[in-house]
Homo-oligomer: A and B are copies of this chain.
């Protein structure tokens, strides 16, 4: 799987007094997109946690290119662009699906830790299942 397209409908509460989605909401949407990426891969993140693996974010970055607003249906294209021994990098592109207008790009880096927050190797099934594919280096 090169990428997964997650759909999200912008809520009223996601907007701010400028009339557009608040800049702080995208990281939560990216999280929901990662969850569905893992599910699609056959590796639900809930299972990962049951096995004692956690993937907290250690870096996050977003570029806000164009705003969206209430009731917009967003498509958040999500892929894993780097895979290391104990870390992986996700990349995201947010589109308005009708026009494929690009709204934001972003990425997050996650380290694999155990329940005591101690870094540990990524589980073998994640490494085997993930196909590395960069959204951000490809021409848009």
Contacts and interface: CB of A to CB of B under 8 A. Distances in A.
Interface in A3-39: 9, 11-13, 15-20, 22-25, 27-28, 31-32, 35
Per assembly, the copies of the chain total 4
A58 B65 CA distance: 7
B27 A12 contact: no
Nearest to A59: B63
Contacts of A60: 23, 60-62, 64
A2 to B, nearest CB: 23
Contacts of A20: 17, 56
A123 interface: no
B18 A16 contact: no
A70 interface: yes
Given A17-B19, A67-B117, 14 more contacts: A12-B31, A13-B16, A13-B22, A13-B25, A13-B28, A17-B20, A20-B56, A22-B28, A23-B31, A23-B57, A23-B60, A23-B108, A24-B31, A61-B61
